[in-house]
Amino acid sequence: MNNKKVLISRMFSDIEAELLKDAGLFITRWNKERPMTQDELIEKAKLHNALFCTLSDKIDKKFLSECSHLEIISQYGVGYDNIDIPEATRLGIPVGYTPDALTEATADIAFGLMIAVSRKMFFMHKKIIKGEWDYFKPRANLGMELKDKTLGIYGLGRIGVKMAERCKGAYNMKIIYHNRKPTPKADELQAEYVDFNTLLTRSDVVSLHCTLNEETKGVFNKEAFSKMKPSSIFVNTSRGMVHNEHDLIEALNTGTIWGAGLDVTNPEPMQPDNPLLQMENVAVLPHIGSATIEARTEMARMAAENIIEFYKNKRIPHIVNPETIKNRQV
Ligand code: GLV
């Protein structure tokens, strides 16, 4: 493959490294116990033709202006809000990603968080650690059941569908959803398309599965929480910046909503003294939606395949900005 060099921004798995090497590409891996700073990333990327990167690598205007020579950026992940896509497209740099590799894994985390919150699981677990498991108190720490409740999906895409299937199958939950426009994905779930306001007022559980963009940034704020039921559970496994953390804490403290399950926070990492971590009806995880052997293996394979196919056949199986590869010479 004409001595093409790929920079891999951290030790992902060995799978992508093997696949890329077997395809005849030269690879460099950042193998330190910390991520590269942006300056380090820029400095190294300058010496390579392709970049294999992930969510915490900042591929913004500054990066792209200094590394406009890159022939492909391959993101290990389904979200790509760390990459300035319009700018990469303007520069003619194709961006690959790994949709569907982590769909089941992330839906499991959303489903698990919903149940954990409904039964105060994380809080009760902490009680044992603190030596507070004493005697049976019939009225204490009561959770709520999910059977026949209404699930409101904000962003019914691949992961939202899998969350909805789990909730329907396990608890016969009624599914309502809000997207920019109705989607045929809803038909099999008999999911009802509703406007944002109705999603908030009717749902017993609101689960976020949208991408982060200018339209979704900060949408779950004080006003949105104030429309939700006092008995409702808020679940976010998409991006922390879709909710306003200050407003969420206030909504929980004032009983405006009942509980929250988060796999994503704003900012990440969440600091250990964050008040959310002490709340009874809250469960927080450190962004582990895709953390299964199966999902991470498939992400590595797909992200490597995007690069290999690009150099071999001038195509990228999973591409964000297909307009960049038309007529491109590599
Ligand atoms: C994970 O959050 C991803 O977008 O892949």
CATH number at residue 272: 3.40.50.720
Q: Identify whether the C-beta of residue 262 lies closer than 8 Å to the C-beta of residue 113.
A: yes
Structure tokens at 315: 């195509």
Tell me the average pLDDT across 262-291.
97
Say if 24 falls within a structural domain: yes
Residue from 106, 108, 112, 50 nearest 78 by CA? 106
Q: Whose CA is nearest to atom 5 of ligand 1?
A: 77
Say if 134 falls within a structural domain: yes
| Exposed/middle/buried for residue 2 (C-beta within 10 Å: 0-12, 13-18, 19+) | exposed
61-75, 284-298, 315-329: segment of lowest average pLDDT: 315-329
Q: State which of 12, 54, 55, 262 you would mutate to test the pocket of ligand 1, scoring each by most atoms of that ligand within 8 A of its C-beta.
A: 55
Q: Which domain holds residue 170?
A: 103-284
Say if 329 falls within a structural domain: no
The domain total for the chain is 2
Indicate if 155 and 136 belong to the same structural domain: yes
Helix ranges restricted to H, the chain: 14-22, 38-45, 61-66, 85-90, 103-118, 121-129, 158-171, 196-202, 222-227, 245-253, 293-313
Provide the pLDDT confidence category of residue 300 given band limits of 50, 70 and 90: very high
Residue 77 CA to ligand 1 center (angstroms) comes to: 5
Indicate if 148 and 214 belong to the same structural domain: yes
Distances (CA, A) of 237 to 30, 174, 321: 28, 20, 25
Indicate if 18 and 81 belong to the same structural domain: yes
87 an active-site residue? no
Indicate if 126 and 237 belong to the same structural domain: yes
Residue from 215, 207, 199 nearest 262 by CA? 207
Ligand 1: which atom is nearest the Cα of residue 264?
2
Indicate if 61 and 134 belong to the same structural domain: no
For 99-129, the DSSP string reads: TTTTHHHHHHHHHHHHHHHHTTHHHHHHHHH
Indicate if 52 and 178 belong to the same structural domain: no
The fraction of the chain above a pLDDT of 70, given in percent, is 98
- What does pLDDT average to over the chain? 97
Given a cut of 80, whether residue 227 has pLDDT beyond it is: yes
Say if 316 falls within a structural domain: yes
Residues 6+ apart with CB under 8 A from 327: none
Indicate if 149 and 169 belong to the same structural domain: yes
Angle, alpha carbons 107-111-154 (nearest 5°): 70
69 C-beta neighbours (distance < 10 Å), count: 11
Number of helices (H) and strands (E), helices first, in the chain? Answer: 11, 12
Say if 317 falls within a structural domain: yes
What is the C-alpha separation between 284 and 280, in angstroms, rounded?
A: 11
What is the C-alpha separation between 263 and 233, in angstroms, rounded?
A: 14
Ligand 1: which atom is nearest the Cα of residue 76?
5
Given a cut of 90, whether residue 2 has pLDDT beyond it is: no
Q: State which of 53, 59, 78 you would mutate to test the pocket of ligand 1, scoring each by most atoms of that ligand within 8 A of its C-beta.
A: 78
Phi, psi (deg, nearest 5) at residue 18 = -65, -45
Q: Identify whether the C-beta of residue 41 lies closer than 8 Å to the C-beta of residue 60.
A: no
Given a cut of 80, whether residue 327 has pLDDT beyond it is: no
Provide the pLDDT confidence category of residue 326 given band limits of 50, 70 and 90: confident
What is the C-alpha separation between 188 and 124, in angstroms, rounded?
A: 37
Distances (CA, A) of 169 to 58, 149, 165, 188, 289: 39, 12, 6, 12, 21
pLDDT tens digit string along 80-97?
Answer: 999 999 999 999 999 999
Provide the pLDDT confidence category of residue 105 given band limits of 50, 70 and 90: very high
Provide the pLDDT confidence category of residue 330 given band limits of 50, 70 and 90: low
pLDDT tens digit string along 170-198?
Answer: 999 999 999 999 999 999 999 999 999 99
Indicate if 147 and 272 belong to the same structural domain: yes
- Give this prediction's pTM: 0.96
Indicate if 177 and 264 belong to the same structural domain: yes
Say if 225 falls within a structural domain: yes
Indicate if 174 and 125 belong to the same structural domain: yes
